[in-house]
């Protein structure tokens, strides 16, 4: 399944970013989300919900955070599929960040990758790709 089609099956509307893993050796960016839901053909399939799962971007050659310095730890905002450039695609995900003095804002996280998948905790070898 093409990355943009795959991402259209994922619901993250009232979900939160728990962690981000940057793995340079594997060329991966993993965003851990408190719950990932799938929406297919206009209907929910709650059996496919993945608690504390990862949205995994594979074959990453670029990742950036704007503004820099803050750690995402809250809601997931807009997700924009920017488009393809050769064999890679670019996506911008707004990740919320809050601190102890209630300073809140979104961090635009830009990722350029070859593929995207969902990973269940503890099941790294069995990524969901369709």
Distance CA 118, CA 129 (A): 7
pLDDT of 91 reads 98
In the chain, the number of structural domains is: 1
| Domain containing residue 96 | 3-119
pLDDT tens-place string over residues 70-97:
899 999 999 999 999 999 999 999 999 9
What is the per-residue pLDDT for 39? Answer: 79
Query: Would 23 be classed as within a structural domain?
Result: yes
Is the model's pTM score more than 0.85?
yes
Residue 55 counted as domain residue: yes
- Tokens standing for 70? 């803050």
127 belongs to a structural domain: no
Give pLDDT, residue 83. Answer: 96
In a domain, 12, yes or no: yes
* Buried-state track 74-98, b at ≥16 Cβ within 10 A, e below 16: bbbeebebeeeeeebbbbebbbbbe
Residue 128 lies in a domain: no
Phi, psi of 70, deg, nearest 5: -95, 155
Q: Is residue 124 part of a domain?
A: no
Answer whether residue 125 is part of any domain: no
Can you give the C-alpha Rg of the chain in angstroms? 14
**130 within some domain:** no
Residue identified by tokens 């919320």 is: 96
Q: What is the mean pLDDT of residues 9-33?
A: 95
């Amino acid at each position: 399944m093409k990355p943009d089609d795959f991402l259209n099956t994922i619901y993250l509307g009232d979900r939160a970013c728990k962690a981000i893993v940057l793995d340079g050796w594997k060329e991966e960016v993993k965003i851990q989300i408190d719950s990932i839901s799938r929406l297919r053909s206009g209907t929910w399939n709650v059996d496919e919900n993945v608690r504390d799962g990862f949205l995994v971007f594979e074959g990453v050659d670029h990742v950036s955070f704007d503004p820099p310095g803050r750690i995402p730890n809250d809601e997931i905002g807009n997700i924009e599929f920017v488009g393809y450039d050769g064999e890679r695609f670019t996506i911008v995900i707004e990740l919320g960040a809050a601190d102890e003095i209630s300073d809140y804002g979104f961090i635009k996280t830009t990722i350029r990758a070859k593929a995207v998948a969902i990973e269940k905790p503890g099941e790294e070898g069995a990524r969901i790709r369709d």
